[in-house]
């Protein structure tokens, strides 16, 4: 009998400002599942080349190291999880190309993210269209059983599954079909300035009041919460809160683990200011140690280098085996 742990794979793009939604939707669940899964966490820097803000001051390489440091600062243990940079593992763009030769164009042009992003752009890079195929390659290279992500990634995991299924049924089984793992709360945090739109890394660069960065200082956190949009009333009704208060309650719930009952007992009938003060305090208390650890890790270059080198070696070991299998199945080796 084997007691092999299920494999989890996920990643964050080193673009924009990494925020509390990325924490509750991704980093926090990764850390919580750490002892139950074989976790592989990638900094998806090749994906970030499609982001429009990549030129804003820092190089993609610098941002990638920052995101890797954040993985560690949030509690990923390199002894238990594998952490690496996507661009250092050649199998990712390689398998992506192979899969692109198989994926119908219509599957990609119908993707919600492609449609909305290409509407905003004057000229649409091909990488925006093929983005989900690289994401599928990321996941399928490692036989990931589960992909812990926020709600906005659901369609991307579904297409990865469809791509795997199509390939397996055409050529013979090569890939495990991955399942998205999306939490019941914290998987869709909304903007503080506009609680009907998802909190996004790029919006934060345009409007400071939009999000809270995981490594923001306590003053910036408190200011952002103070200015957050609430509802038009004055008193909290946990069950029937509007979008603004619901978002604040949801953030509170994700960071505290409090049940709806506990939330109601604490906040029902009280003013919005009470919620804002408690939330600011909770966020500062949770994020301050992460910020300290982050600064320490970034300052100590050799430790991060070591983590990323050993992560890359393990990622290569696993994924080159998968590429060999795919080459064999496709008859690329005579």
Residue 44 engages ligand TYM in binding (rule: CB under 6 A): yes
* Interface residue with ligand TYM, options 7, 8, 11, 212 (CB under 6 A): 11
Beta strand 179-181 with 7-12 is unpaired
Residue 315 engages ligand TYM in binding (rule: CB under 6 A): no
The owner of tokens 């139950």 is 36
Question: What single-letter DSSP state applies at residue 208?
Answer: G
Which among 27, 146, 46 has a CA at the least distance from the CA of 94?
A: 46
Residue 153 engages ligand TYM in binding (rule: CB under 6 A): yes
* Interface residue with ligand TYM, options 7, 10, 214, 280 (CB under 6 A): 10
When computed from its CA atoms, the radius of gyration of the chain, rounded to whole angstroms, is 21
Residue 254 engages ligand TYM in binding (rule: CB under 6 A): no
| Total of residues contacting ligand TYM (CB under 6 A) | 26
Contact between 41 and 82 (Cβ < 8 Å)? yes
The owner of tokens 């994926």 is 103
* Interface residue with ligand TYM, options 8, 12, 204, 297 (CB under 6 A): 12
Question: Of 201, 253, 276, 322, which is the active-site residue?
Answer: 201
Report the nearest approach of ligand TYM to the CB of residue 1 (Å). Answer: 30
Q: Please, which residue, 156 or 276, has the CB nearer to ligand TYM?
A: 156
Calpha distance 159→111 (Å, rounded)? 9
Q: Record the tokens describing residue 90, joined without a space.
A: 């050649």
Q: Is the dihedral of CA 304, 307, 311, 312 positive or negative?
A: positive
Describe the strand order of the beta sheet including 38-43 as a list of residue ranges: 81-85, 38-43, 7-12, 146-148, 179-181
Residue 13 engages ligand TYM in binding (rule: CB under 6 A): yes
Report the nearest approach of ligand TYM to the CB of residue 280 (Å). Answer: 19
Segment interacting with ligand TYM (CB under 6 A) among 22-30, 223-231, 238-246, 306-314? 22-30
Segment interacting with ligand TYM (CB under 6 A) among 71-79, 150-158, 166-174, 305-313? 150-158
Q: Please, which residue, 20 or 280, has the CB nearer to ligand TYM?
A: 20
Report the nearest approach of ligand TYM to the CB of residue 109 (Å). Answer: 17
Contact between 142 and 178 (Cβ < 8 Å)? no
Residue 156 engages ligand TYM in binding (rule: CB under 6 A): yes
| SS3 assignment, position 89 | coil
Q: Record the tokens describing residue 11, joined without a space.
A: 């990643």
* Interface residue with ligand TYM, options 147, 214, 224, 279 (CB under 6 A): 147
Q: Which residues pair with 11 in a beta bridge?
A: 42
Overall residue count recorded for the chain in this entry: 334
Applying CB under 6 A, the residues found at the interface with ligand TYM are 9-13, 21-22, 24-26, 44, 47, 135, 138-139, 147, 149-150, 152-153, 156, 187-189, 198-199
Catalytic residues: 117, 198, 201
């Amino acid at each position: 009998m084997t007691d092999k742990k299920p494999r989890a794979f996920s990643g964050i793009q080193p673009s924009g400002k990494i925020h509390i939604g990325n924490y509750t939707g991704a980093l926090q669940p990764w850390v919580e599942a750490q002892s139950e899964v074989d976790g592989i966490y990638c900094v998806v820097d090749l994906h970030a080349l499609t982001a429009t803000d990549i030129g804003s001051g820092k190089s993609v390489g610098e941002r990638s190291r920052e995101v890797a440091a954040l993985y560690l600062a949030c509690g990923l243990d390199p002894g238990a999880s594998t952490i690496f940079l996507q661009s250092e593992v050649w199998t990712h763009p390689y398998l992506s190309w192979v899969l692109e030769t198989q994926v119908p164009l219509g599957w990609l042009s119908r993707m919600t993210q492609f449609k909305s992003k290409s509407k905003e752009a004057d000229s649409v890079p091909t990488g925006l269209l093929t983005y989900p195929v690289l994401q599928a390659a990321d996941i399928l290279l490692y036989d990931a059983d589960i992909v812990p992500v926020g709600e906005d990634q659901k369609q991307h995991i579904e297409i990865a599954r469809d791509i795997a299924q199509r390939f397996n049924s055409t050529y013979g089984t090569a890939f495990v079909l991955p399942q998205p793992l999306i939490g019941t709360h914290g998987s869709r945090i909304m903007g503080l300035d506009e609680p009907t739109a998802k909190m996004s890394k790029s919006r934060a660069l345009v409007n400071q009041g939009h999000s809270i960065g995981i490594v923001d200082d306590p003053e910036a956190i408190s200011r952002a919460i103070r200015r957050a949009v609430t509802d038009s009333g004055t008193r909290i009704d946990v069950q029937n809160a509007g979008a603004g208060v619901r978002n604040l309650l949801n953030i509170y719930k994700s960071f505290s683990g409090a049940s709806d009952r506990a939330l109601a007992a604490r906040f029902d009938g009280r003013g919005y200011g009470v919620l804002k003060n408690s939330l600011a305090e909770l966020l500062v208390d949770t994020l301050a140690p992460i910020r300290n650890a982050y600064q320490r890790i970034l300052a100590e270059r050799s430790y991060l280098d070591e983590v990323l080198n050993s992560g890359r070696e393990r990622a290569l070991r696993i994924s080159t085996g998968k590429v060999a299998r795919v080459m064999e199945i496709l008859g690329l080796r005579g």
